[in-house]
Amino acid sequence: SAVISQKPSRDICQRGTSLTIQCQVDSQVTMMFWYRQQPGQSLTLIATANQGSEATYESGFVIDKFPISRPNLTFSTLTVSNMSPEDSSIYLCSVDRGADTEAFFGQGTRLTVV
């Protein structure tokens, strides 16, 4: 398994502001993924962060709201832009080993928007 570090672990933000979440992996991975977990809910994939190309977004998520960077094979950021209370969630970074489908997760960023 990979060691995945996310920062910050939690934050309380004012509505209308933006927060950038960082994800660092201890080994090179081809793809990194960002999930949202709303309170009491399951995990929903936001986008796949590709190194060297634009992120691929799932239905219902757009680049203007959730811009993603992937500058190298061990790091990615997710920005939650122009936040509203509805954005209060846990945001999770994930990687897999390529051939397998086993997703490994960071510890998550708990975001509260007030």
The Cα 99–Cα 87 span in angstroms is 33
> Using CB under 8 A, which of 21, 55, 94, 113 touches another protein?
94
Residue from 28, 41, 82, 84 touching another protein (CB under 8 A): that is 41
Question: β-strand 104-105 against 109-113: which pairing, if any?
Answer: unpaired
Q: Which tokens is 63 given?
A: 């680049």
- Any contact of residue 56 with another protein (CB under 8 A)? yes
Burial 33-42 (b: 16+ CB within 10 A, else e): bbbbbeeeee
User: Is 92 a binder of another protein (CB under 8 A)?
Assistant: yes
Residue 103 near residue 4, CB atoms below 8 Å: no
Pick one of 50, 58, 67, 69: the residue that binds another protein (CB under 8 A). 58
Q: Which residues bind another protein (CB under 8 A)?
A: 1, 4, 6, 9, 30-31, 33, 41-45, 48, 56, 58, 92, 94, 96-108, 110
